[in-house]
A = this chain, B = another copy of it.
Amino acid sequence: MSNDQALESKIRIVLVETSHPGNIGAAARAMKNMGLSRLYLVAPEDFPNEKAVFRAASAADVLDQVVVCPTLQEAIGGCSLVLGTSARQRKIPWPLVTPKIAAERVVAHRLDPADIAVVFGRESKGLKNEELQQCHFHVNIPTSEAYSSLNLAMAVQVLAYEIFCANTESETAIVWDQPAATSDALEHFFAHLEDTLESVGFHDPDNPRQLMTRLRRLFLRINPDKMELSILRGFLRTVNEAIRK
């Protein structure tokens, strides 16, 4: 049970550019109902607002502790597992799972020391491609074809509920010898990788042809640990030194 406590305190619910403060309050209530407390808001349109407090009901403490960030990258800083909710499949398909599978992965990740983020997009149009490409994998809540657009707070409720159920039921966790790499470290790696690919003439920034997108997807899917990432970066450094000679 001490592990379960630890998991809940490591989960960040991240809402990106939310329009309606009522949805923020309803999301806070849904979170507290399911034992979550860490709400991150990326550039909310209208917060704080008393509508959020009203809809939060007895979860005003979650609102009091909200972390407001200017960018998604900041909101997921330090996280070693980032899930993005997505209504539809994109041009370049990303690993896409159901809420149940997503919840199982979150629970399986619970022994890793870093935080876990579940990211929700705008009410009107979800997450942008560049935001989705900062996620290790995507979650899609199954819906009727006749009306597939869930209310934002409802989506938070479904994911928080599935994580609560999985955390209550599951006894399994991934045992690993190294902590997983954080999002920040991965972004440094991606920048280093892109520079290197350009230096060796493999990557033309004026004609990118989805190269970096595909590489992001590859390395995010692997969810590398810190040791692996430092090996990869050591390799890139060696390549760069070799070119300069």
Contact = CB atoms under 8 A, between A and B. Distances in A.
A240 interface: no
A73 interface: no
A30 B151 contact: yes
A120 interface: no
A147 B59 contact: yes
The A contact surface, by secondary structure, is: helix
Contacts of A59: 147
B164 A144 contact: yes
A161 B148 CA distance: 12
A204 to B, nearest CB: 43
Interface in A126-180: 141-144, 146-151, 153-154, 157-158, 161, 164-165, 168
For chain A, the bracket of interface size reads 20 to 34
A29 to B, nearest CB: 6
A147 B32 contact: yes
Nearest to A154: B157
A196 to B, nearest CB: 44
21 contacts: A26-B151, A29-B154, A30-B150, A30-B151, A30-B154, A32-B146, A33-B150, A34-B143, A34-B144, A57-B149, A58-B149, A98-B165, A100-B165, A141-B161, A142-B164, A143-B164, A153-B154, A154-B154, A154-B157, A157-B157, A158-B158
